[in-house]
Amino acid sequence: QWLRNPGPQHEKRTLFGDMVCFLFITPLATISGWLCLRGAVDHLHFSSRLEAVGLIALTVALFTIYLFWTLVSFRYHCRLYSEWRRSNQRVVLLVPRAGGGAAATPAPRGPRPLKRNSKETIV
C-alpha neighbours within 13 Å on the C-beta side of residue 56:
11
- State the distance between the two ends of the chain, measured CA to CA, in whole angstroms: 22
Angle at 85 between CA 122 and CA 66, to 5 degrees: 175
Q: How many domains does the chain have?
A: 1
- The confidence score (pLDDT) of residue 81 equals 84
Q: Is 93 among the domain residues?
A: no
Rounded Cα gap, residues 110 and 123, in angstroms: 16
- The confidence score (pLDDT) of residue 89 equals 74
Residue-number span of the structural domain to which 28 is assigned: 8-86
Q: Is 110 among the domain residues?
A: no
Q: Is 101 among the domain residues?
A: no
- The confidence score (pLDDT) of residue 120 equals 59
Rounded Cα gap, residues 74 and 17, in angstroms: 13
- Contact status, residue 123 vs residue 113, Cβ threshold 8 Å: no
- Contact status, residue 89 vs residue 20, Cβ threshold 8 Å: no
C-alpha neighbours within 13 Å on the C-beta side of residue 54:
7
Rounded Cα gap, residues 44 and 52, in angstroms: 6
Q: Is 3 among the domain residues?
A: no
Report pLDDT digits (tens) over 83-109: 888 887 777 888 888 765 555 555 555
Report pLDDT digits (tens) over 62-85: 999 999 999 999 999 899 888 888
